[in-house]
Amino acid sequence: EIVMTQSPATLSVSPGERATLSCRASQSVSSNLAWYQQKPGQAPRLLIYGASTRATGIPARFSGSGSGTEFTLTISSLQSEDFAVYYCQQYNNWPPLYTFGQGTKLEIK
Amino acid sequence: QVQLQESGPGLVKPSQTLSLTCTVSGGSISSGSYYWSWIRQPAGKGLEWIGRIYTSGSTNYNPSLKSRVTISVDTSKNQFSLKLSSVTAADTAVYYCARGIGQLANWGQGTLVTVSS
């Protein structure tokens, strides 16, 4: 099983500043990596897939990078609505098993 | 825009079988090359993928749950379903259904299932 590890667990950032979230895979997942945002009481929302492609309707301030085992989600200028929990997910073809990171909580500083 | 909606009992007794259905609207469950997944999330914790079914009916399950999970599809009703047997309190969670090729682009709102006597 591929284990996904996110860091940090909690990130405190001021509105308007940049946030950088990390995700590491225990083995290569190529670019088969997605990022989700989850707010309290809501389902996760897809932000990024293919490690760097923004999903439909996602603002340009969200960007993803990386390949293999190291990935980054960057939010360039934090808005109030961006404070939430963020998860990475790998969907490598083999084994056919999706795994999520444990999440990073992005909170207002 | 496709929409997904979970339904099923909110309370299940220990050792019994949890059964949930996901109804798909705004598109046919048979069209396109999509996987239909179930994911769960215990209160205050992270996401755990349970398994998926392809439009052909082929399935893949999380090895940690494989012995207890069955996912099936009913194309005539535009639904897919989850059965989880021999439940314990550890299976208490919000259960989500979702659609995706690998990334999960469309999610239901989730339904809370509590395992308790």
Beta-carbon contacts of A30 under 8 Å, excluding residues fewer than 6 positions away, are A67, A68, A92
Look at residue A92 in the predicted model and tell me its pLDDT.
87
CB of B48 within 8 Å of a chain A CB? The answer is yes
Rounded distance between C-alpha atoms, residue A36 and residue B82, angstroms: 23
Token duo for residue A38: 């989850």
**What are A62-100's pLDDT values in tens digits?**
999 999 999 999 999 999 999 999 999 999 867 778 999
**What are A21-38's pLDDT values in tens digits?**
999 999 999 999 999 999
CB of B44 within 8 Å of a chain A CB? The answer is no
Could you tell me which residues are beta bridge partners of residue B63? none
Look at residue B87 in the predicted model and tell me its pLDDT.
98
**What are B56-108's pLDDT values in tens digits?**
889 999 999 999 999 999 999 999 999 999 999 999 999 999 999 899 999 99
Q: Which of B22, B35, B47 to mutate to test the interface with A (most CBs of A within 10 A)?
A: B47
Decide if pLDDT at B55 tops 90: no
A43 with B109: Cβ contact below 8 A: yes
Decide if pLDDT at B32 tops 90: no
Question: A9 — alpha (psi -120 to 50), left (phi > 0) or beta?
Answer: alpha
B52 with A34: Cβ contact below 8 A: no
Q: Who has greater pLDDT, B56 or A17?
A: A17
**What are A36-71's pLDDT values in tens digits?**
999 999 999 999 999 999 999 999 999 999 999 999
Give the angle A102-A28-B67 at the CA atoms, nearest 5°: 60
Which residue do the tokens 């999520």 mark? Answer: A100
Omega prior to B9 cis, within 30 of 0? no
Look at residue B35 in the predicted model and tell me its pLDDT.
94
Say if CB A83 and CB A91 are below 8 A apart: no
| A70-75 vs A62-67, strand pairing mode | antiparallel
**What are B8-20's pLDDT values in tens digits?**
999 999 999 999 9
Least CB-CB distance to B103: which of A49, A93, A102? A49
Look at residue B63 in the predicted model and tell me its pLDDT.
92
Look at residue A1 in the predicted model and tell me its pLDDT.
85
Look at residue B80 in the predicted model and tell me its pLDDT.
97
Look at residue A96 in the predicted model and tell me its pLDDT.
77
Look at residue B44 in the predicted model and tell me its pLDDT.
95
